[in-house]
Amino acid sequence: MSDLLPVTRIPRTGLPPRAIVVGDPFRAELLAKRLTDAVEVAHAREYRTFRGAWQGTEVIVSSHGVGGPGAICLFQELADAGVRTILRLGTAGAMQAGIADGDLVIAEAAVRDDGVTQQLVPPEYPAVASAELVLALVAAARERQAPSHRGLVWTRAAFYPGLLPVPMPAYVRAGVLAIEMELSALLVHGSLHGLTTGGVLVIDGVAADELRETTGYDPHREVVAAGVERAMDVALDALVRLR
């Protein structure tokens, strides 16, 4: 048997138990540059993995690409390799007034519209973040003075609309804070495997029509980049404060 896991090519054994996951392989590299003694341990397809230390605690940083079905391959192989805490750091579109570009959204739970967990668990099964990680993120955001919001998010498989209507108005009325593409897959996987899981998202635009001032979507703005920088520190602080 190979010493590397088949999809991500990460080592089967010897990884530290805490990981931050991001969508973009280049964002994984950017995050790894914050770590002490960071080394790249694997790079296959969209999965790029680094190892290093934050405040003396060893952590993993890994990318999972776009969408729940591919992301859950990384979550599974990290767990197979011994990781017990997985925190997703991503971007999202705002769905409520008062949530600004660059703000952080700390997820307590997610709407399961991810395109993969529907094949794993019954529809009534929830996607819930681990309470201790939610509280650690809230405390870290407060200490870093990072503008943040805490509540529900919507994980949706489709990024661009098609022929079917998107039920955005109902979820806006239900108080869902933001929309993204992978978190509910992580939360369900964590519950099924006894992992500590959670997510912190950086707002990179608005998703709800009633919040739009323009029709353009541009996540490559300074306000978003600054939010991502803050979120990296918040995520790392929260990850290592867990006991």
Distance of CA 36 to the CA centre of its chain: 22
Considering the domain boundaries, does residue 10 fall inside one? no
Q: State how far Cα 187 lies from the chain centre.
A: 10
81 band by pLDDT with thresholds 50, 70 and 90: very high
- Whether 216 shows a pLDDT value over 80: the answer reads no
pLDDT score at 212 = 67
pLDDT mean across residues, the chain: 95
Residue 199 lies in a domain: yes
pLDDT at 232 over 70: yes
pLDDT exceeds 80 at position 215: no
Longest dimension (CA), the chain: 55
DSSP 197-229: EEEEEEEEEE-SGGG-S-S-----SHHHHHHHH
Query: What does the pLDDT look like over 98-145, one tens digit per residue?
Result: 999 999 999 999 999 999 999 999 999 999 999 999 999 999 999 999
Residue 185 is given by DSSP the state H
Among 92, 124, 125, 122, residue whose Cα is nearest residue 107: 92
Spatial CB neighbours of 138, under 8 Å, sequence gap ≥ 6: 106, 148, 150
What CATH number has the domain bearing residue 207? 3.40.50.1580
Q: What's the pLDDT at 243?
A: 76
Is 48 inside a domain boundary? yes
* Domain interval for residue 159: 18-241
Domain count, the chain: 1
> Could you give the angle at the alpha carbon of 233 between the alpha carbons of 230 and 237, nearest 5°?
140
Residue 225 domain-assigned (yes or no): yes
Q: Kindly indicate the confidence band of residue 217, based on its pLDDT and cuts at 50, 70 and 90.
A: confident
The string over 44-71, giving b where at least 16 C-beta atoms fall within 10 Å of a residue's C-beta and e elsewhere, is eebbbbbbbebeebbbbbbbbbebbbbb
Is 11 inside any structural domain? no
pLDDT at 208: 83
Residues 181-199 have pLDDT tens digits of 999 999 999 999 999 999 9
**pLDDT tens column, 6-56:** 999 999 999 999 999 999 999 999 999 999 999 999 999 999 999 999 999
Inside any domain, residue 75: yes
**Token pair in block for residue 114:** 């991810």
